[in-house]
Structure 1
Amino acid sequence: MKIEELIGVIPPIITPVDDNENVDVEGLKRVIDHVVDGGVHGVFVLGSNGEFYALDNENQKLAVETTVKHVNGKVPVYAGTGEITTKACVKAVQMAEDAGADAMSVLTPMFINPSEKEMYAHFETIAKATSLPILLYNNPGKTTNNISVSMLKRLAEIDNIIGIKNTSLDFSQTVEYIDATRDNDTFEVLSGTDYYIYATLMYGGVGCVAGTANVAPRLVSDIYDKFVVGDYKGAMKSQFDLVPLRKAYNFGSFPVVMKDCLNLMGLNVGHPVKPIGHCSEEKMEDLKKVLADLDLI
């Protein structure tokens, strides 16, 4: 995968599961078709919206293999890992490489709190263990670990670390990431917070990993597609139109809301993995209104 291909809208696709909480292959194919037909520029399997944490190694492998095969080269496939240890992350990236993924996204460790020296060594070891391009995933709200601007600048010098997805409501950090790597032609910054897609593009970012693109891929893609042809007014309108769907994340426990939306839209993607449950009946009615206002139901 070339750095020029790291662009646009990359949905972290939800993972449909069956009654035994194993990957529902046919459901996963329906989700892939939905987002690809909606004009996205990549597909990210085993992200946080994809409940990576809830799937054992066998199911993770099945999800990656199914995604690679079904996407069939239409767009790049990114596989994610959020393992805690370096050893487990190395095993995950090698699995994804063997399965045919185009790139790997690696989340900062959770539960533990490595020093900056330890964190750098963690990502460096993972990068050296694979030929896949690595997209760093910063989500301090979920992991409590943050990739500092100074550490990012060092990590960006590693040959196959090609970018970072920043999932933080602190937009100033995204701006600083972009500023710190502006002179690096082999590294890019993407928004991981769906409120900030347009703003990230304005500052020089190249796209987004957007959970809302599971549900409204065409709308999210319009933000990017209109922006790159200079239709800034149209891109901004699409960004504002997306806000009610992003705000709906608060209607249930993460990451159920996008799954509930797809069920309401008739994609039949099943239940969240327990202990997470569906949105309440009241919030389901609110979700229906959000989806109806976007002409999605």
Structure 2
Amino acid sequence: MTNRQPPTGISGFPVTPLNENGNIDEEALVTNIEFLLEEGLESIFIACGAGEFHNLSRKEYESMVKLVASTVDGRVPLYTGVGGNLTEAIEKAEVSERLGVDGYLIFPPYLIDGEQEGIYEYYKAIVTSTDLNAILYQRSNAISSVETIEKLAEFPQVIGVKDGTGNMELNIELTQKIGNRLGWLNGMPMAEVTMPAYVPLGFNCYSSAISNYIPHISRKFYNALLNDDKQTVHEIYEDVILPINQIRRKRKGYAVALIKAGMEIVGLPVANTVRPPVVPVEEAHYEELKQILKVALENHPPNREVTI
């Protein structure tokens, strides 16, 4: 029987490491996944936004999912990203099921703004194509109303909603009307910034971009938040979260590229290499991030040795 429990805690969204030729560096990918598992992240989402989902070929997608599934090997729930073109979304859902993952996060359909009926039919087609767990993504051109999500929640495969819009009025309506039938995930860019507003609504899971390179600080922040340790929350905001977020907002695509830069700075095997239309982090911004991470690691040292 499928475990219908939604993810909780801190979810890792690994990047897709690329070598100098622009191909996927599988050895680096395994190393980075192992790092996240060792740091205690509660779930892994592969080939999603941070993993440049939009730029993976079908062959790359399948080989990545297969590799990561064998690496994770059931230690934590493993999710993939599906979406865009409906036919391709269903194909990727079926690949994910065949390769033994736990579920998938559904990205918006390609470009088109649909009516609620169309959004419902889009999600329904994907959700019913497999028995895997499905998480709906409130983002861009696929923002579901309360009524639409209530209808989709009738399918047992639907276990959660991830919010990437920041519409707190809608989030309050959703959590009040649907409650714990679904899991609630904060998927805002640099989700630590907004997590204090989400926790009281029942959001007990979030995707952490910085967990790719400073997961111990993600954990320290989240623990402090849940324990109402306002001083620690303030210090991490001041030292780490807000300064990094300021750099993230300087260029489009930095939500992905800045993660790779941070990973490279702390010595993880990934280059500051991305696929267009995302661009690498500029040298000046890279140096800014480096200085922020030096302060962060001095004020919030990890258990392992990190040299910058």
Do the two structures share a fold, i.e. TM-score over 0.5? yes
User: 1:163 corresponds to which residue?
Assistant: 160
2:136 alignment partner, SS class: strand
**RMSD of equivalent CA atoms:** 2.1
Taking a change above 3 Å as real, the CA distance of residues 175 and 222 of structure 1, as seen in their structure-2 partners, is farther
Distance across 2 between alignment mates of 1:288 and 1:256: 14
- TM-score normalised to the size of structure 1? 0.89
Q: Which amino acid aligns with 1:98?
A: R
Q: Which amino acid aligns with 2:168?
A: F
User: 1:213 corresponds to which residue?
Assistant: 211
Distance across 2 between alignment mates of 1:126 and 1:188: 19
1:44 alignment partner, SS class: strand
User: Which blocks of at least 5 consecutive residues in structure 2 are unaligned?
Assistant: 298-305
User: 2:51 corresponds to which residue?
Assistant: 50
Taking a change above 3 Å as real, the CA distance of residues 123 and 239 of structure 1, as seen in their structure-2 partners, is farther
User: Which blocks of at least 5 consecutive residues in structure 1 are unaligned?
Assistant: none
Deviation track 1:18-56 (CA, whole Å, cap 9, x = no partner) reads 234332111111211222222211111011111011110
Report deviation, 1:218: 1.9
Mapped contact 2:15–2:52 kept (Cα < 8 A): yes
1:48 alignment partner, SS class: coil
Q: Where in structure 2 are the equivalents of 1:183-194 lying within 5 Å? A: 185-193=180-188, 194=191
Q: Where in structure 2 are the equivalents of 1:67-106 lying within 5 Å? A: 67-85=68-86, 87-106=87-106
2:248 alignment partner, SS class: helix
User: 2:173 corresponds to which residue?
Assistant: 176
Q: Where in structure 2 are the equivalents of 1:1-297 lying within 5 Å? A: 2-4=3-5, 6-85=7-86, 87-140=87-140, 144-182=141-179, 185-193=180-188, 194=191, 195-227=193-225, 230-233=227-230, 236-237=233-234, 240=237, 241-254=240-253, 255-270=256-271, 271-295=273-297, 297=308
Q: Which amino acid aligns with 1:250?
A: R
Taking a change above 3 Å as real, the CA distance of residues 91 and 234 of structure 1, as seen in their structure-2 partners, is farther
1:172 alignment partner, SS class: helix
Q: Which amino acid aligns with 2:197?
A: A
Deviation track 1:73-95 (CA, whole Å, cap 9, x = no partner) reads 2211111113222x221111010
Mapped contact 1:223–1:239 kept (Cα < 8 A): yes
Taking a change above 3 Å as real, the CA distance of residues 238 and 106 of structure 1, as seen in their structure-2 partners, is farther
Identity in percent: 22
Distance across 2 between alignment mates of 1:223 and 1:130: 36
Deviation track 1:224-262 (CA, whole Å, cap 9, x = no partner) reads 44555x455377447625333333322444121111111
Report deviation, 1:5: 5.0
1:108 alignment partner, SS class: strand
Deviation track 1:197-240 (CA, whole Å, cap 9, x = no partner) reads 23222221121122222222222233444555x45537744762
Taking a change above 3 Å as real, the CA distance of residues 205 and 145 of structure 1, as seen in their structure-2 partners, is same
Taking a change above 3 Å as real, the CA distance of residues 215 and 245 of structure 1, as seen in their structure-2 partners, is farther
- TM-score normalised to the size of structure 2? 0.86
1:136 alignment partner, SS class: strand
Distance across 2 between alignment mates of 1:238 and 1:129: 46
Mapped contact 2:137–2:162 kept (Cα < 8 A): yes
Mapped contact 1:252–1:280 kept (Cα < 8 A): no
Taking a change above 3 Å as real, the CA distance of residues 150 and 244 of structure 1, as seen in their structure-2 partners, is farther
Report deviation, 1:113: 1.6
Taking a change above 3 Å as real, the CA distance of residues 16 and 212 of structure 1, as seen in their structure-2 partners, is same
Q: State the number of aligned residues.
A: 290
